Structure 1
Amino acid sequence: MELNGASAVISGGASGLGEACARDLAAKGVKVVIADLNEAKGKALADELGGIFVKTDVSNETEVQAAVQAAVDSGSPLRIVINSAGIGWATRTVGKGNVPHPLDTFEKVIQINLIGTFNLMRLGAAAIAATEPVDKDGLRGVVINTASVAALEGQTGQVAYSASKGGIVGMTLPAARDLSAVGIRVNTVCPGIIDTPIYGEGEAAEAFKATLSAPVPFPKRMGTSAEFAHLVRSLIENDYMNGETVRFDGGIRFQPK
């Protein structure tokens, strides 16, 4: 699909993987809508890229609809939705002293990671479906969701996170089948260990990242946000990619701990 002249809504677009996607697509002529809770970073990035910032809680229907509408009103047809907003959580199902996993934290992770992804996908896809096709196949746009290798190999304490990301993987194919009827492709990326600002800076952070990346077969390092963004753009541009879940992990397979 041709990128130049289209618009995109990117949840979690103010930092990390979402920011990398915003930068990559903007460089290809895409009008990016940064849908994020972080106003300072989101506005600064949108201004830098000539995009639009909309403060967005992905689990809130009204706020997500506002982000989608901003893309529709941008003057560039909405063709791309990228779901990269999410939170992590680590708690065992039964912890020390036989304390059960808090239900409210499990619900929060599901609400943001899984329901938030579906919320933007459904509202964004409805807007994309209202556009004219871009080619003889009837293509109108693309949805890229972000899951995790934890969806497939969840580690100790990742029950909530893995459930949320596994749900994203689980809905990829049926969503693709649903949305193919209106000319929209859907694919999901499962990143492994990616070097983002979440790990901090300094010697301690670098040592921790080295430990995390040690089990990666090749290349023996963490992945980069730019490499993730490159893969996302490839999935958007390649018109025959649909209904797929793609690992992006350097060949790592998570162990229990």
Structure 2
Amino acid sequence: METKTNTPTPQKRTIRFIESTIRRGFREGMQIILDQEREELVGQRFGRLTVESVIYYDTRHRARVICRCDCGEAVNVQMCDLRARVKKSCGCLLRDLAREHAIDRNTIHNGTGTRLFRIWTGLRQRCHNQRSKVYKDYGGRGITVCSEWEMFIPFRDWALANGYREDLSLDRLDNDGPYSPGNCRWITAAEQNLNKRNNTLVEYEGQLVPIAEAARLSGINHQTISDRHRRGITGPDLYRPVSSRHNTKN
């Protein structure tokens, strides 16, 4: 009985030789490319990191490199992370940004807890936080905070240089304008009430004024003027003194 041998045929040996040659040539070609890339990478700078050496490539030919951070620390990172700007430092960049943010949040200049800080936080909440109950009246209708006042210190410095007192409130000159140095001032609570967007205006001696101001100037009860205005009464009749016999009819 004849036994089968595993000796490859000349044709198979030829095929294997060709495949081996191709693989060897591919590896050698890739090695040349990788060596060239290795030389090009050394010395390149990415953020705070400078490539010092390429230590190896993984199965997908992705380089891992040793970098030196500006702070002096050495870090082992993937080259693709550097090129994608995912990795920019050994970690010191995030720490520095966090420290700067902490300054802006007033954990260093002792602003936290002050009335000015609460005012600044409030105006930013009204304009930026969609969950705020009053967002629809501010950010929701286009009211913004100028870039300068996105940090507390510039806002504080402006406030102290422009008449801030504990009994005054921040007011925008243009109710449709932004919170900015050119559109804000410090006024009393009474003045701010007169400047509210939802105030109803009536004519008094040729000028349009809020009902509260008209009541103060004319001496007529605020509710009386408001009721008359709703009924369409205008002109001098709006400020007609109330008869003692018909005070319920205005």
Give the TM-score range, shorter chain: under 0.3
Q: Give the TM-score of the pair, scaled to structure 2.
A: 0.17
Give the structure, 1 or 2, with the largest relative contact order (CA under 8 Å, sep 6 or more). Answer: 1
TM-score normalised to structure 1 length: 0.16
